[in-house]
Amino acid sequence: MKANEIMVRQVYKVKEGDSVRDVIEKFIKHRISGLPVVNDRNEVVAYISDGDIMRFIGKHDDHVFGSYFYTAVIKGDNQEFHERVQSLLPLNVMKIARKKVFTVDSDEDIEQIAAILGKKRIKKLPVLNQGVLVGIISRGDVIRHSFQSIL
């Protein structure tokens, strides 16, 4: 079975110029947890997930680094939680999205897709055809198509 046989063709996505507010609105409206970020040619340039949002709004602790000759302190947050949430919304999506995106080609085998999702511990893979976004495959898609014929 190939990626183009199991992928979801209706892909919710955001443009690289969009704000995090646009991302959150799509997360809520479509009940999803991640979106590919595309350029004007519909090429994937990043991926933003609920984990990226959590890393930004979560509490950041102070870190102390020291050696025999010096000690350095990198301060964590001085903002309250609601301030971090508010400050996130107007940011450009590219400020917090992950630029290293794992993708698969539309003719990739399901076995390889399962391996990537498992080894990389990711939930979704954008599917490309000649470098352009044409679909998305989730862990659930792989499980449904792998087991539905034998259950």
pLDDT tens profile 29-74: 999 999 999 999 999 999 999 999 888 777 645 445 566 665 554 4
Structure confidence by residue, pLDDT tens digits, 4-27 = 999 999 999 999 999 999 999 999
Average pLDDT score, the chain: 87
What confidence score (pLDDT) does residue 150 get?
A: 84
Alpha carbon dihedral 55, 10, 26, 131, in 10-degree steps, equals 50
Q: How far is 73 from 86, CA to CA, in rounded Å? A: 26
Half-sphere exposure of residue 57, counting CA atoms within 13 Å on the CB side?
16
SS3 for 56?
helix
